[in-house]
Amino acid sequence: MITTSRETRLQLGQQLLNAGIVKPEQLEQALHIQESDGNKLLLGEVLVQQGFCTEEQIMESLARGYGLPFARINPHIADPRVVDVLPREFLEKHHVLPLFKVHGKLTIAVSEPANVFLLEEIGRITECELLVVCATAREIQNTLQTHLPQANVFVIDDIVGEIDSASLAVVEDHNLDDIADLESAAGDSPVIRMVNHLIYHAVHEGASDIHIEPDDNALRIRFRVDGRLFEKMRLPYKMLPALVSRIKIMASLDISERRLPQDGGIHVMMQGRPIDLRVSTIRGKTGEKVVIRIIDNSNVMVNLEKLGFSYETLKLWRKVIASPNGIVLVTGPTGSGKSTTLYSVLREINDDQVNICTIEDPIEYNMPWVNQFQANEKIGFTFAAALRSLLRQDPDIVMVGEIRDGETARIAVQAALTGHMVLSSLHTNDAPGAVTRLLNIGVEPYLVAASVMGVLAQRLVRKICTNCKEPYEPPVNLRKAVERMVGDMDTFYHGAGCTKCRRSGFSGRIGIYELLVPDDAMRDCITSAPSINELRAQAARAGMINLRQDGMDKIKAGITTIEEVLRATTAI
């Protein structure tokens, strides 16, 4: 926000008064605060700090005063191919954002429309005629962080298409004996198109991972969709060096290192939305295997209602996460959706009145206005060390990606007992197992009893494809197993298999849950350091719905199948 002269400040204030945004006494108070502070703060900043109006209202009034359009900015508006016409440091320093370029005219969003010297410099650097719109510095910065999470952002929509045999032959003909050959091959259009093709279709089909696996004579490309791997295509083995080198270049890895494992990240734009990729390479007997984890924010930033909670469980879960302090745990094996649940919780409880800090390894999703920190054991910034430091940052809510050891657990417990809300995850089979896990890693039973507010255990089961869903008659033993838990059922459903679901009969996944909320009897039980069987018995007496029961309810509702629920809950 800008305004430097008294005349301009009064003009802004008069505009706000005329629009009924602020009251006369509020304007006088803001001007008095500004004058007494030696004009260090701008009038708009004082008005926002005092809660008299919003930043959007200030910028809209300024835009009107300068005869410029006011725009609400988000990542879908800005063309990612245009954002980098100005250096990253310049964009962040001056809070400006190139939006799009048409016929040599660059539309740019600024938060300081009065700074004519800045606009002249932008015109000189870009050599473009400028069309200026006003936007808030906050929205500009959020969009910049989305489009430029790191220096390199790859737009894969531009070079993507079907790969024909002629293109593959071009790649196979390369002689890839040295690094120069590798770099040359990795930069060829057929290789770029192939990598973009894989990423594009993996995202389009909802895959969570891409596996590039060499064998003696071929490359197998597999996608993991809804937790299951399926083969997408096979390629000639000679394409391996060029493909791997292209992926390494995108992930800023060392293409000359083929013996040791490497890990990196890629940031891509697809159809205007940012997608993060985590790359892992490792040498096998027939060459380097590559796995690309796809992290799509649009799939994780969902409301709690869409995760699959029953009405009563969701009502109780919301009561748990509204606690002012204590530990709230989400448990389950790898790939059970714990991170999605935790991020959905943070999204629900985040507002301007709380300070939320997270410690993650790695940071999987960027959340606006949440302070996220990356753990790094190589430099001693462990979960325990990070948590200890964050407690001096005046947090209200702390999310620890995972409690892995006794030290982290003890610090988390102490934080919970001193007025903080601590969210975290554990790898246990069920909710009572989380209590046993804390006891086993050295937390005193009375501390566990006093600090744990709730434990949510979860699994993911595949949903029946709605396109080929049909009634069927399950084996008698399976029917009886379900009816023992949910009562008589007239109709069971499954997916017959169709092209939409790749003949699997399933499309998408949904969570099944059990929620343990300790009552007085459970807390008394915990203080005696009980066995896991004692905890489960006590939870059952308290009326906890376990994972299998919740899964059976989803079978009765026609959402999933008996086989899926039994597979997900067999180890419990």
Higher pLDDT, 110 or 7: 110
What single DSSP character describes residue 325?
Answer: S
What pLDDT does residue 269 have? 75
Query: Does pLDDT of 2 surpass 50?
Result: no
Render pLDDT for 170-223 as a digit per residue (tens, 0 to 9): 444 454 455 555 566 555 568 888 888 899 899 989 899 999 999 988 999 999
Q: Residue range 424-430: average pLDDT?
A: 94
Tokens of 380: 């001693």
| Torsion region of 419: left, alpha or beta (phi above 0 gives left; psi -120 to 50 gives alpha) | left
What pLDDT does residue 178 have? 53
CA 441 centroid distance within chain: 29
Q: Residue range 472-496: average pLDDT?
A: 90
- Secondary structure, 3-state, 144-180: HHHHCCCCCCEECCCCCCCCCHHHHHHHHCCCCCCHH
Position 7 confidence tier, pLDDT thresholds 50, 70, 90: very low
What pLDDT does residue 299 have? 66
Render pLDDT for 299-347 as a digit per residue (tens, 0 to 9): 666 789 889 999 999 999 999 999 999 999 999 998 899 999 999 999 9
What pLDDT does residue 191 have? 83
Position 272 confidence tier, pLDDT thresholds 50, 70, 90: low
What pLDDT does residue 324 have? 93
Q: Residue range 145-169: average pLDDT?
A: 55
Helix (H, G, I), strand (E, B) or coil at 513: strand
Neighbours of 172 (CB within 10 A): 14
Higher pLDDT, 13 or 413: 413
Position 164 confidence tier, pLDDT thresholds 50, 70, 90: low
What pLDDT does residue 160 have? 52
CB 465 within 8 A of CB 498: yes
Query: Does pLDDT of 155 surpass 70?
Result: no
Residue environment code for 315-347, b if the CB has 16+ CB neighbours within 10 A, otherwise e: ebbeebbeeebbbbbbbbeeebbbbbbbbbbbb
CB 430 within 8 A of CB 569: no
Higher pLDDT, 52 or 414: 414
Tokens of 254: 């060392």
Burial class (CB in 10 A: 0-12, 13-18, 19+), 74: exposed
Position 521 confidence tier, pLDDT thresholds 50, 70, 90: very high
Rounded Cα gap, residues 536 and 567, in angstroms? 21
Listing DSSP states for 404-425 in one string gives -SHHHHHHHHHHHHTT-EEEEE
144: CB partners within 8 A, 6+ apart: 83, 91, 92, 97
What pLDDT does residue 151 have? 43
Average pLDDT, the chain: 86
What percent of the chain shows pLDDT beyond 90?
50
Rounded Cα gap, residues 315 and 443, in angstroms? 29
What does the angle CA 391 – CA 137 – CA 112 come to, to the nearest 5 degrees?
A: 140
Helix (H, G, I), strand (E, B) or coil at 367: coil
CA 451 centroid distance within chain: 28
Q: Residue range 261-270: average pLDDT?
A: 86
Query: Does pLDDT of 548 surpass 90?
Result: yes
Sheet holding 129-134, edge to edge: 96-102, 105-110, 129-134
What pLDDT does residue 331 have? 97
Rounded Cα gap, residues 531 and 534, in angstroms? 5
**Could you tell me whether strands 228-236 and 273-284 are parallel, antiparallel, or unpaired per DSSP bridges?**
unpaired
What pLDDT does residue 409 have? 95
